[in-house]
Structure 1
Amino acid sequence: MPARRPSPRFASAATLAGVLLFTATACNSSPSPEPAKESGPATTWQEPASYAYTLTSTTQVMAGTFRVDVRDGKVTKTVGLDADSRRQVRDLPRKVPTIGELLKTLGRARSEGAATAEADYAADGHPVRITLDWDENAIDDEALYVIDSYRPNQH
C-alpha cells in the first residue's frame, strides 16, 4: 500500500500549531519577572507613635476587616468588624500588623523580586492599598491590604 501524502490543509494546520507552540514556549521562558513598580509617589510618611486605622485584608493567612489601634509601634487593640475577622482576632490575636509592618512586608517583596509589589498612597503619604503577589505562577500567595479611616492620635 503506497504512503499517503498529507493534504496541504493538514500541513498548514500542523505548521500553525507548531508555530503557536514555539511562541507559547518562548513567552514562558523569560528569565525572571521584573520587580513591580510602585504606584503613586514615593512615600516619606513616618509612622506616628499612636494611630488607629481600619484594615481590610484578603490573604490566605488573614481575611476580613479589622479596626486597629497602634501605640509605640505595636498593635494595642484589634476589633474584628465581620465574622471572619472576629474569629481571627479570637484565634490569632497578634497577627494583625501595624502600617509600618505592612510597609516592611512591601519592601521585602520588592527586594526579593516579587511579581507584584505595589502601593497607592494618600496625600499625606500613608499607604491606602498594598498589593502583593510573590510568584505570578503560584496560587494562594497573593495579598491585598486596604487601609482606611487612618487617624493619628494626639497625645
Structure 2
Amino acid sequence: MADVRTVPVLCGVVLLALAAGCTSSADEGKPDARPAVTAGSPPPWTEPANYTYTVERKCDGKESLGVYRVTVAGGEVSKIDRTDGRTATGEEEIELPTLGGLVELAQTAADDGGKMTTSSDPADGHPVVIAFDVSDAGDNEDNTCFVISEYSLG
C-alpha cells in the first residue's frame, strides 16, 4: 500500500506522462501552426504607414552619436530633424530609415554573420532597441545601436 504522502507525487508524475503522450504520430515533424508567443511577450508589430519616432544613436557605455525625430508618411521617411542641438562634426549626418528599415538592417547584419539584438515595446510590439555588430572581433567596438522613444501613430 502506498504511503499517503506519495500519492500526490505519483498523481503528478502520471499527469505529466499523460500530457507528454497527447500528441499523435501524424503531427510529428510538422511545425507548430500556432505563433510562439509566451506570457509577457510583446505582440507582433506591423509597421503602420504613418508614424513618428525619436531615435538616439547610442550603445551602452558610449557617447551619443545623435538624437533624431523621424516622420514616416505613406511608409516612407518624409522628414528627419536632429533634436539634440548638436551638429555633425567630422562625420556626415545619417539618413535614417523607417523602423522596419532599421530592423531589416539589423537582420541583414545577422544574416551576414554579425550579431543582432532587438527589444520591443510590451504594449504594442514596436521596436525600442535595435543593435547590430558586423565585425567579427566580438568586442562591441563596432556596434551600431538605435534606442527608439516617443513612438506615436499619425
Interval of TM-score (by shorter of Structure 1 and Structure 2):
0.5 to 0.7
Aligned-partner Cα distance in 2 for 1:150–1:122: 10
- Number of aligned residues: 107
Please state whether the residue corresponding to 1:103 is helix, strand or coil: helix
Q: Are the structure 2 counterparts of residues 43 and 107 from structure 1 closer, same or farther at C-alpha, using a change threshold of 3 Å?
A: farther
Q: Displacement, 1:108?
A: 0.9
Amino acid at match of 2:58: T
* In 1: Cα distance, 2:73 partner to 2:58 partner: 24
Superposed, which structure 2 residues align to 1:19-58 within 5 Å? 41=41, 44-58=44-58
- 1:136 and 1:58, CA in 2 relative to 1: closer, same or farther beyond 3 A? farther
The answer for the alignment partner of 2:151 in structure 1 is 150
Give the direction of change, closer, same or farther, for the CA distance of 1:97–1:111 in structure 2 (3 Å limit): same
Q: Helix, strand or coil for the counterpart of 2:45?
A: coil
One-letter code of the match for 1:149?
E
Secondary structure of the 1:63 match is: coil
Q: Return the offset for 1:63.
A: 2.5
Letter in 2 for 1:110: A
DSSP-derived class of the 2:66 partner: strand
Q: Structure 1 105/83 Cα, relative in aligned 2: closer, same or farther at 3 Å?
A: same
Matching residue's letter, 2:78: T
Give TM-score scaled by structure 1 length.
0.59
User: Aligned residue for 2:131?
Assistant: 131
Task: Provide the secondary structure at the position in 1 that maps to 2:150.
Answer: strand
Alignment gaps of 5+ in structure 2: 1-39
SS in 2 for 1:141: coil
Secondary structure at the aligned position of 2:97 is classed as: coil
Offset, 1:112 = 1.5
Which range moved further: 41-50 or 135-144? 135-144
Structure 2: distance between partners of 1:74 and 1:54: 15
Q: How far apart are the structure 2 equivalents of 1:139 and 1:103?
A: 19
* TM-superposition CA deviations, 1:17-58 (whole Å, max 9, x none): xxxxxxxxxxxxxxxxxxxxxxx9476211101000001013
Map of 1:119 onto structure 2:
118
Provide closer, same or farther for how the CA distance between residues 150 and 103 of structure 1 changes in structure 2, counting only shifts above 3 A.
same
Letter in 2 for 1:117: M
Give runs of ≥4 in structure 1 deviating > 6 Å. none
Q: Give the structure with the larger helix fraction.
A: 1
TM-score with structure 2 setting the length = 0.59
SS of 2:46 mapped into structure 1: coil
Please tell me whether residue 65 in structure 1 is matched to residue 64 in structure 2. Answer: no
Preserved CA contact (<8 Å) 2:133 2:140: no
Deviation at 1:87, TM superposition (A): 4.0
- Tell me the CA shift for residue 83 of structure 1: 3.8
Between the aligned residues of both structures, percent identity stands at 31
